[in-house]
Structure 1
Amino acid sequence: MIQALISRFVTHNGRWYQACPHCFRQLKQKKNNDLLICLEHNMQVPLPW
């Protein structure tokens, strides 16, 4: 059996997006501010995905 751990995310190359921690869909920026929202779960703290 092989096990692995993720030690860090490489976020500077554009190969990740800010996802909803519930459904993992990409979050969209709310109009006129910097809040991120999920269309299904409202405002969320982003999760690298």
Structure 2
Amino acid sequence: MGAVRLGGVWQRRRGSRGGRPPVFAPVDYRGRNVVERRFNLFKQRRSLAPR
């Protein structure tokens, strides 16, 4: 059998970009941060956890 080539055309086409470009949306980040902080607060204070 011949040599098996790993990877595809898409890996060669990416070039210097290296993958998905970083996207930063401050408004979205702020919203996710607030939600994450609330969940962490609930985790730390078990008495506040919904039952």
Shorter-normalised TM range? under 0.3
Structure showing greater relative contact order (alpha-carbon pairs closer than 8 Å, 6 or more residues apart)? 1
Greater helix content: 2
TM-score by length of 2: 0.23
Point out the structure with max Rg over C-alpha: 2
